A and B are shown apart, each in its own frame.
Chain A
Amino acid sequence: MSVHIQNIPFKDPATRYNEGVNSVQPSPLRASDDLVDVQGERMVLNMGPSHPATHGVLRIILEMDGEIITKADPDIGYLHRGDEKIAENMTYTQFIPYTDRLDYLGPLANNVAYVLAVEKLMGIDKQLTLRCQYIRVVCCELARISAHLLGLGAFAMDVGAMTVFLHTFQEREKIYDLCESLTGARFTTTYTRIGGLSRDLPDGWVEQCRKFLAEVVVNFDESETLLTRNRIWVDRTKGVGIISKDMAIDYGLSGPNLRGSGVDFDLRKAHPYLVYDQLDFEIPVGSVGDCYDRYLVRMEEMRQSVRIIHQCLDKLPGGSVNISDGKVVLPEKTKVLSSMEELIHQFILVTQGVNVPPGEIYFGAENPKGELGFYINSKGGGTPHRMKIRAPSFVNLSILPELLPGHLMSDTVSILGSLDFVMGECDR
């Protein structure tokens, strides 16, 4: 099932570690005491929280020996908003807009992941209409393309190729247009609802989407022309920031960062949700685990996403997008004003929220950045008792102290770019 991109043998972790250690310590000088001046002092460099390469408000305290990093200490939390606590004070539906602000580069995917978790807790995830499931998959994959395009553009910009960034933004703009006609908002989509979607596809949206898909693949090729075989780009990314298979698993990486290291694990295949098991797509896997592999994996994932969306649009069934349970989904407005039962449902749903049975659930979805998981602990009623968000960016960044030492200062930007994180999600 997996597409192998490179066939370069792995460096085992021990070799990698030794290389890193040896490149850092000039041991002969260190041994003698009277040469202590020659070693020079380490420089502490504060990279961020406001720095062009840290994409938001990540702060890394680097300890450097010249240009070589000897210690890296990421400092996060500058964008902490307490989303998990906020969730305890509102109904399940009211929290959907907050999920827009997690990974704000692909809000549609967050919406889907969150409501799926709630639906699973309520036990209605199998009742979702087929149309709803297909549209949700389309949303997830559009979000993936959007997020990867930005990740790619920002990565390239960090390494100095400014043009790629603007090229990818052109396509992202089209995705925003699609979002706008779909949800009414470009950025903060809040599209999904528990048990369905806020609205069905507007007229002509499928054609608009197909047109976009035809155009975006051309853009992928253009970006690849600028980068994939570019000698400078390859020099800057190949062999840089190598994450071995074991290391990736040890640190709990997920998403393209995990697959870049050669682990064939994608939740869409491993634990299929929605209609992913009925779709035909492949999971690209790297082999070395360097920045170049992660770049190639993302490139290929976007192409696979296009493939998935095409299939979904082909297969898109008719019918309703919401389940027909009045206790879960808001009734039609006309009925609210004319029928007693619908009025009561509307009132209860708006004031108290959907009634979620007591229990707990963890659901992880394959989001653009990796596994976005929601753990919800319910004591019944319309609000969660406790919610925990497993943010892929947070977990992916935890590898920095291990990954950065031994690299040059300039590699920091390649590595950060290739890890493709979003602080909105990391800090929650």
Chain B
Amino acid sequence: MKVLVVDDSGVMRKIIIRSLNAVGVSDIVEAGDGQEGFVQFQAHQFDLVLTDWNMPVRNGLEFVTDIRKTGSKVPIMMITTEGQRSQVILAIQAGVTDYLVKPFEKESLRAKLDKYVPV
């Protein structure tokens, strides 16, 4: 299983990658913003994309829109501080399949990841 992690915060990328490793995922590509993420998305075949919303250059919502424009149905989980209902609806409309609001307990992220990681 190959996973793309897009977040401008190196701290958050490490936290997410730690959780991915804990559920047995080690084939991970990192990107620091939505533009870099889309370059990586086009260069590889991913089974899951995890992305932040607030990022420089190209934000998470624009990144998700770019992915969906390609016709890809890859599961996309947004991990963000944007917890308002209106924002969640915007993300779903853009094509996000799962959503996790920061701060979160590590068990919450692992439970979400379990849904996408084959046993």
A-B complex is real: no
Interface residues in chain A, defined as those with a beta carbon under 8 Å from any beta carbon in chain B: none
Residues of B in contact with A (beta carbons under 8 Å apart): none
